[in-house]
Amino acid sequence: MKIYDIKEDDYYLYTCAQLKAREKEFIEKTKLERMINSKSIDDLYKVFSETVYSYLVDDIKEGNDFKVVNTCVYKDIFKFLSQRLKSEHLAIIDLLFMEEYIHNIKVIYKSQVLGTDLKDHYLELFDPYGLIISAIQSGSYRDVSPLSSELVQKALKLKDEAKGMEAELELEKYYMERLFKLVDKLESTILTDYLKHKIDIMNIKNINRSRFVGLDIKFEAFLLPNGFIEKNFFKAQEDENSDYFVQSLQESDYEGIVRRGINSLFTYNTFASFEKNEDAFYLDFFDGLKYTVTNVEKIFYFFLRKKIELEVLNIIFSGVLYDIDKSRLRHRAEVLDEN
């Protein structure tokens, strides 16, 4: 991995000290193993009650739904970062929650196309679903965040210009290109490079997803710019098979992600390996931050780790609830143990 020169910033001394103390929140291997080995969902709740998320157990029990954990924790993260970051660093919130922003704007788009209330599919993290729908109906966006206002108006424009998947892909491209410009202004090489890696891996996964489901769509429709790998490289793969794709990337940073991911996808019909190895890649990418003391990158990394932990806990929860093979859950949880 590349060695980065991270600038220390005394402005974040107290915040970084807080987060250093909060590292004990991360769930240790023994508790993860006990969760995985739970014989029932009630057994899992007992172990969960011993973690930093114990205050949410009753809420999870109410609907046997882990989504409430993500919603509550993400809201807390959003509030924490909003109150502590310098104004010029607020873009790391957009970077941290890129998937959630993209998901939500697609839900809003679909709700307008279908004329249906899709609140249950919306992630209530930042601007409430009802507030955004009211803004659309009134035409006034003064009560929603500038980002939501911009994305919603882009979605409404695409609603009249494009249809279905084409519009959704355009929304994703719009957000990611906007995000790249914001992150580039942070003048943090490691955060810009993280986003470039994120873009490359999104392109890799989308290519394999389209092949797996037999989607009749040109790669150009979904390929994102601004990654380390040029779009033309990916477009040249359009008429090649998966073996050739793996071979073409064997000297890249993504060789392990691609080789294991494609093998798992076409052998076991699951993206689990892609997701696990992608998370491991990011955790390893930021490993050098442990030698720094106070900077915005360290703050971003703490909450990236928190998000990855929540992804794993969600998978364990679903696995215990639906009696999924323990070895599969253990394999996915390894990413936390390894880092």
| H-assigned helices in the chain | 13-21, 29-36, 41-48, 57-63, 67-84, 91-96, 98-114, 129-138, 146-161, 164-184, 189-212, 231-235, 242-248, 255-268, 272-285, 296-321, 326-337
H, E, C per residue of 217-269: CCHHHCCCCCCCCCHHHHHCCCCCCHHHHHHHCCCCCCHHHHHHHHHHHHHHC
Q: What tens digit of pLDDT does each residue of 81-96 get?
A: 999 999 999 999 999 9
Q: For residue 1, is pLDDT > 70?
A: no
Q: What is the count of structural domains for the chain? A: 1
The CA distance from 313 to 40, in Å, is 15
Residue 100 domain flag: no
Determine the pLDDT at residue 214.
Answer: 80
Residue 298 domain flag: no
Q: What tens digit of pLDDT does each residue of 32-67 get?
A: 999 999 999 999 999 999 999 999 999 999 988 899
Instruction: Give the DSSP letter of residue 213.
Output: T
If one counts every other C-beta atom within 10 angstroms of the C-beta of residue 248, the result is 16
Q: Which domain holds residue 203?
A: 188-285
Residue 196 domain flag: yes
pTM of the model as a whole: 0.95
Residue 259 domain flag: yes
Residue 33 domain flag: no
Residue 219 domain flag: yes
The model's confidence at residue 160, banded by pLDDT at 50, 70 and 90, is: confident
Q: What tens digit of pLDDT does each residue of 280-329 get?
A: 999 999 999 999 999 999 999 999 999 999 999 999 999 999 999 999 99
Residue 32 domain flag: no
* Amino acid sitting at position 286: F
